[in-house]
Chains A and B, each alone.
Chain A
Amino acid sequence: MRGVTLRKWLIVAALFGLAVALTAPAALAQGLEGDGCSATVNGRTLDTLDIKHPLIVEKGDTVALTGAIPRGADDGPSQTKIYVEVVGDVPVADEPGDGSFWGGTVEIPEILTSLAPGVYRVKGTATGPDWVCSGSAYIKIEGGPLTAAAAVGAVAAGAGGIGAITASKPKKGQVFYEGSSATPETSTRVAADILTIAFFFLMMLLLGIIGPSWVV
């Protein structure tokens, strides 16, 4: 019996480790791409706006991505597209340009500050006649102390956590040990729960480091 249990643990741990290893995402870096390009967001260079030091914005503020095209490049018409990353790239601006500069401006909508403030990665890509410039930076949208996303998150985490722990109890009336007066082994059960929760936090830690990072 002990061998069966150990095998179950090993299978769960192996599958979990494999899933994390296979799906480990690349680091979400920020900065500038394109030879000879330059760019700033609200006057700050992109390399300074990492997840630990994002640009702080509030309701009604604008985020202006501006930059210069490579020296000697054709300064004809260009197009700048700006995206916010939320499970994929969500386009928020598409602005035409001309001359030796590229960029675009986005106003922070009120709905975002009240529903889902937080840290976001903003990306911009500009395409000219013979050049391409792109860059990304982190911004932090400030909201109130209690937001809809925080409330939903807290309720979901609470309900999910209780359900996740109670799901390990056997079904009612389940006979697995016929003729015995078996009683639950609380200490072993608690140890298994603690180990599982430790795995959960380890997973968040891994994804937090690999995804972006710790504390802003």
Chain B
Amino acid sequence: MVGIPPRKWAPGKPFAGFRSGVLLGIGAALLLHQLGWWVLDINTLVLLPLLSGLLFAGRAWLGTPYR
């Protein structure tokens, strides 16, 4: 085939992405609590890490582009 080859996405590791996203969310919650941005409640200490985990799991699922 002549021309630019098609882009292909190689999937990453969604479970590792989820774990890391949860860790990132917990760390961010603790740091921002120390900075006085918010209180430690179910939203910041549970909801934020879970959403962060889902977000980065999705990013890992999307993977890396190759051409």
Number of interface residues of B (CB under 8 A): 57
A1-21, CB under 8 A of B: which get 1 and which 0?
110110011011001100110
Contact A167 B13 (CB under 8 A): yes
Instruction: Say whether A85 contacts B59, CB under 8 Å.
Output: no
CB <8 Å contact, A211 and B44: yes
CB within 8 Å for A170 and B11 given contacts A149-B30, A183-B66, A207-B47: yes
Do B37 and A152 have beta carbons less than 8 Å apart? Answer: no
Instruction: Say which one of A33-41, A58-66, A93-101, A118-126 lies at the interface with B.
Output: A118-126
Inter-chain contacts of A157 with B (CB < 8 A):
23-24, 27-28, 30-31
Residue interface bits A157-172, CB-to-B below 8 A is 1, else 0: 1111111101111110
Bound complex: CA A157 to CA B50 (Å): 14
Answer whether residue A73 sits at the interface, using C-beta atoms and an 8 A cutoff. Answer: no
Check B9 against A5 for contact (C-beta < 8 Å): yes
The answer on a CB contact under 8 Å between A189 and B64 is yes
> Please, which residue of chain A has its CB at the minimum distance from the CB of B26?
A156
List A residues at the B interface (Cβ < 8 Å). 1-2, 4-5, 8-9, 11-12, 15-16, 19-20, 23, 25, 28, 51, 85-88, 116-121, 138, 140, 143, 147, 149-150, 152-164, 166-171, 174, 176-177, 180, 182-185, 188-189, 192-193, 196, 199-200, 203-204, 207-208, 210-216
A–B pairs, 5, beta carbons within 8 Å: A8-B61, A25-B43, A118-B36, A156-B27, A161-B27
